Chains A and B, each alone.
Chain A
Amino acid sequence: MKRLLILTLLFVTVLGLSACKNEDEGTIRFAIWAGGKELEEFQAIVDVVNEEADGEFTIVVESIPDNYTQKLSTQVAGGQLADLVWLSQDNIYAFAEMGALYDITDLNAATETTDLEASNFYANILQTAKYDDDLYGLPWIANPVITYFNQKIFTDCGVDLPSATGGVLGTDWDWAEFKDIALEFPNGDVNHPNVGTGICTADTYGWITGGWPPVEMYLWAEGGDVLDSNFESAINSTESIAGMQLAKDLLMSGITPDVSTVWDQGFSESWLNGNIAMIMAGAADDFELRGLTGFTVDDFGYGLVPEGVDGKHHSFNWTASTVMSASTSDPELAYKAMEAMTLKFFEWKVTPPIKNGIDFIDTMLDGSKIASKPTIMEALKDARGGNYHTAYNEIDVWGFLFEPILMDPASFDPVSVAQTLEDRINTILSR
């Protein structure tokens, strides 16, 4: 019996201790959400950077494949946050506010790498890495919403594409023109003159939405927002109400399949059926490369989202940044590693969020997707994220605003919803 006990304890101790980590000086822990193949790609980048660092620092990867922010919050509580961490735009404010992040404003101001100077990032994108005007991260990826056009459907349904400039479709179209074009498709009308021509059927729709792009994009188009840049409610403004009305009108016009069908089938899966003329989605989401049966990549075109009342194409942009832990032992060394990694990320993922991203993008884009380059670069100019206050998720823009529009646009009343939502926002912000 004693032998068994000793053996068990020995087994546990040896295995457990063998799994303990012994960190050397110069070790930079880097927490990311990537897993599987993407983790392998990331590790390959880390290997290169570590080699180039020539012993000055060694990056060690920590993958968090699930419950990402929950684990980060736990690590913050335990003083164990990794030196460098990937954070998406909607989480930076919250982590900076709780004092978990290191202010890299000065380190960035002293950078010798032109590509990484603050002025070289798109201002709207860099803004998502700021808290109280101080910089807390370096954005490494942008994914602005662009419009993908299924040109084969346009041809067979006898609809003209919007005008193009420099290979970019819809450079001067607005939401009214967009709706008019989408209305020219059958959208369920069996009597449409082109039904039966090629792939044009009664089930061919001009557009598709099931909650994407996000509702903020319609608010921005009309000059409104959920929170303004001072993080106060802007939802009850005339502009925001006009934005809600825009979303409502689009939903009621019949240019998109029934939302419940889209939800049942899935947004991108609905697109795979090959009967949607236009879809607004992230430039890096590769909606033209998803293997639609009977189509080649040349059947697709790329364009901007329609412009808003101020003449700008307010595209929603998803961005992630690399931030630094406030508890990192050597901020300068960690920043050096952050810069080295960020430069590699620019060569890895579409799209680098910097003004000279075009220098990197050629090497990344699949040869068949190269035609999207001018559109992506043009879209980035006015692309932006929300004003992500810590309480942004709690406001629940989806549940209190967008879902009611999607579920029942006819009975959606922008004025009363704006008032209700503003009361809710003020209650949350006043805590």
Chain B
Amino acid sequence: MIKDKIIKKIKKLGRRDERYKLLVHVILLSGVFWMMLPFIWMISTSVKELEQIFTTPPELFPTSIQFGSYKEALDIIPMFKYFFNTFVIVFGRLGGEIFVSALVAFGFARFEFPGKKVLFIVLLSLMMMPYEVTMIPTYIFWAKLGFSDSYLPLIIPSYFGTVTFIFFLRMYYSTFPKALEESAYIDGASSWQVFWKIYVPMSKPALITMGLWSFMGTWNDLLGQLIYINSSDKFTVQLGLASFSSITGGQTPYNALMAASLMALLPIILAFLFAQKYFVDGIKMSGIKG
């Protein structure tokens, strides 16, 4: 009798638990839908006829699917060339940005030197400064060096580290037990070896996360690339996308623009998929949120 009652109670609780789970999933799925809506809209618009894009009321799904806009997008801008140009900047920055940031962060986390705190506060204050404030002085600097219309002003600064990355890696390295490096020093390792053979391998997820952030930041950067690049044969993907709406008195072919935007998104999606595991681990460990 009691046994039956207990079983009944458990079943009831189980059903309530299932209902709760179902509710949670419904809420989460509706959240996913709203998060995905712009993306779905982009895909849908890319295969719509131009006339269907602005109908009232708006129609999410195309009445007839056409892929001509993808060809049109490739006709309007040399997409593959812009992909290559963007990759040059992305990979040009990547090594410097990650390596130098990690090295500087290691220094801040593990060495004591006069003025360390002041230097770190100066570094933090740089994080607060928006790009727009430094844009013109920096442009003048690079222009005086004769580097306008080149990728150098976009790549070289990354070899001085990125403040945000230094900050987070410094915090991350501070959590490493000192005993690790002390035992290495006892075994005769140099500071460089400690960094390269202990800190770098141990921070792989964080570094990959930084790499992804660097990749996405560079890939999506419009203003920096716009300011420094003049010749269209050096254009990047973002500048190419901007070209769609820069037609004198003309109409923007939104379906082709969406098709091009979708193509431009692919490398980021692929990069995220391949590095997803590290990305999530890195976020957990370094505390970075998007």
Contact = CB atoms under 8 A, between A and B. Distances in A.
A261 B54 CA distance: 12
Nearest to A292: B51
Interface stretch (B146-154, B162-170, B201-209, B280-288): B146-154
Nearest to B143: A78
Interface string A1-43: 1000000100110011101110000000101011111110000
Contact of A77 (B140, B146, B250): B140
Nearest to B85: A19
B247 A36 contact: yes
B231 interface: yes
A62 interface: yes
Nearest to A21: B149
Q: Is the interface of A mostly helix, strand, loop or mixed?
A: mixed
Contacts of A1: 196
A64 interface: yes
B125 interface: no
22 contacts: A12-B156, A16-B155, A20-B149, A21-B148, A21-B150, A21-B231, A35-B246, A36-B77, A38-B247, A38-B248, A61-B232, A62-B231, A63-B232, A74-B135, A77-B136, A77-B139, A78-B140, A78-B148, A79-B143, A80-B143, A264-B56, A269-B54
A237 interface: no
Q: Is the interface of B mostly helix, strand, loop or mixed?
A: helix
Given A8-B96, A78-B140, A265-B54, A20 B150 contact: yes
A66 B226 contact: yes
Q: Which 7 pairs, one residue from A and one from B, show the smallest C-beta to C-beta distance?
A: A35-B243, A66-B242, A16-B152, A269-B54, A78-B143, A62-B230, A65-B242
B172 interface: no
B211 to A, nearest CB: 14
A143 B250 CA distance: 12
Interface in A28-84: 29, 31, 33-39, 60-68, 71, 74-75, 77-80, 82
Interface of A: 1, 8, 11-12, 15-17, 19-21, 29, 31, 33-39, 60-68, 71, 74-75, 77-80, 82, 141, 143, 261, 264-266, 268-269, 272, 282, 284-285, 291, 293, 318, 320, 349
Contacts of A8: 95-96, 99
B239 interface: yes
Given A265-B56, A282-B249, A35 B242 contact: yes
B253 to A, nearest CB: 9
Interface in B70-114: 75-77, 88, 91-92, 95-96, 99
A38 B226 contact: no
A78 B234 CA distance: 20
A80 B152 contact: no
B51 A78 contact: no
Given A36-B244, A38-B247, A65-B239, A12 B230 contact: no
B7 to A, nearest CB: 59
A361 B55 CA distance: 34
Interface string B233-244: 011000110111
Contacts of A17: 150, 152
B227 interface: yes
A65 B150 contact: no
Contacts of A31: 230
A16 B156 contact: yes
Contacts of A63: 230, 232, 235, 243, 246
A275 to B, nearest CB: 12
Most buried by A among B139, B144, B156: B139
B133 to A, nearest CB: 13
A63 B156 CA distance: 24
A36 B150 contact: no
A394 to B, nearest CB: 19
A231 to B, nearest CB: 27
A16 B150 contact: yes
A33 B242 CA distance: 10
A68 B247 CA distance: 12
B80 to A, nearest CB: 15
A285 B234 contact: no
Given A1-B196, A19-B151, A21-B150, A34 B156 contact: no
A349 B230 CA distance: 24
B189 to A, nearest CB: 14
A349 B54 CA distance: 27
B223 interface: yes
A65 B152 contact: no
A272 B51 contact: yes
A68 B227 CA distance: 10
Contacts of B144: 78
Given A8-B95, A74-B227, A35 B244 contact: yes
Contacts of A291: 51
A65 B246 contact: yes
A58 to B, nearest CB: 13
B90 to A, nearest CB: 11
B64 interface: no
Contacts of B159: 12
A66 B95 contact: no
A19 B150 contact: yes
B219 to A, nearest CB: 16
B63 interface: no
Contacts of A29: 230
A166 B249 CA distance: 27
B151 A15 contact: yes
A61 B226 CA distance: 15
Interface in B113-144: 135-136, 139-140, 143-144
A81 to B, nearest CB: 11
A79 B91 CA distance: 30
Contacts of A75: 139
A78 B151 contact: no
Nearest to A37: B76
Contacts of B136: 74, 77-78
Contact of A268 (B143, B150, B222, B251): B251
A99 to B, nearest CB: 16
